[in-house]
Amino acid sequence: MTDRMFEERQHAALYQKYRFDPPDQLKELIIQYLDKKKGKPFQLALDLGCGTGQTSRVLAPYFQQVVGIDVSESQVAEAKAIKGFPNLTYRVGTAEELPFPDGSVDLLTASSAAHWFDKEGFIKEAQRVLKPRGCLALFGYGDDMTMYHESCGEQLNHIYEDLKQELLPYTSTRVNVANTKLKDLFEAIPFPDKERIEHIPIKQQLSVKSIVGFMETFSMYQAYLRADPSAATALLERTTSRILKDIKASSTETKVDFILDYFCVFACKPE
Ligand SMILES: C[S@@+](CC[C@H](N)C(=O)[O-])C[C@H]1O[C@@H](n2cnc3c(N)ncnc32)[C@H](O)[C@@H]1O
């Protein structure tokens, strides 16, 4: 059963605008893992729960063909609107039912998405479509993100903690699966050759506007917005003004250090 949390066009538009590309360090880890375990040629990668295509586009230069798959038509429509990747296509579909032959896929990725999949259905389908020595790379980040600006790092984190508290009633249990860094899913993968990297901290400088925009993409924020639009809007306004006050800035273009702690589950199908 698939959770349908990402259907709205306005949510998909926010995704295109504010979600991050996978960082270079993580992309290198994935490509090196596939190279070490299976080796070239890299013919087909499927990016499952592709959203608006951030990971699909990053994979495109390394593969003959990349297909992004997402259950949400709105997300796929936004992804398709970005042109310039002739070997990249998108399909509406689910990670539990992949329209590809047995043993045809080199790499399956899921970025901030595998926690939404049905564990058994997805694993069965991954086993079927992967080539021998084909690989899985399931990555994302938990909810421990850190914001710093000069001397007021702690205050900024309190602002984020307050936002999380207010969104708690709207947080799907699926999000908690991501916060465990996919521990259960990792344990359920039947391939003996697998590993789970729990901490890949990535630091970037982001404007206050981008950080608050990123928060706006959270499924729990969108659930809050549906339930109580004025309270949800006020929460983001309050979050923005608290950050600006603490960093003593007036413009939302002001940059803040932002650290996301990624994780990655790797697995390689036996011969
Ligand atoms: C948090 S978003 C991540 C999107 C993108 N990969 C990224 O990193 O920004 C999760 C995506 O998974 C999709 N999704 C949820 N369940 C799915 C399933 N069973 N099969 C395929 N896509 C699914 C949602 O529609 C949504 O676009």
Encode pLDDT of 177-200 as tens digits: 888 999 999 999 999 999 999 999
Q: Tell me how far apart the alpha carbons of residues 131 and 49 are, in angstroms, rounded to a whole number.
A: 20
CB 255 within 8 A of CB 266: no
Q: Which burial class, exposed, middle or buried, applies to 84 when counting CB atoms under 10 A from its CB (0-12, 13-18, 19+)?
A: exposed
Instruction: Give the pLDDT score at 1.
Output: 38
User: How far is ligand 1, taken at its centre, from the CA of residue 146, in Å?
Assistant: 24
Instruction: Give the pLDDT score at 2.
Output: 47
Q: Which amino acid, 265?
A: V
Range 9-268 classified under CATH 2.40.50.140: no
Q: Whose CA is nearest to atom 12 of ligand 1?
A: 49
120's tokens: 């058994």
**How many C-beta neighbours within 10 Å does residue 74 have?**
19
Q: Whose CA is nearest to atom 23 of ligand 1?
A: 49
Residues lower than pLDDT 50 in the chain:
1-2
Cis peptide bond prior to 201, omega within 30° of 0: no
User: How far is ligand 1, taken at its centre, from the CA of residue 96, in Å?
Assistant: 12
Residues forming beta bridges with residue 89, ordered by sequence position: 67
User: How far is ligand 1, taken at its centre, from the CA of residue 152, in Å?
Assistant: 34
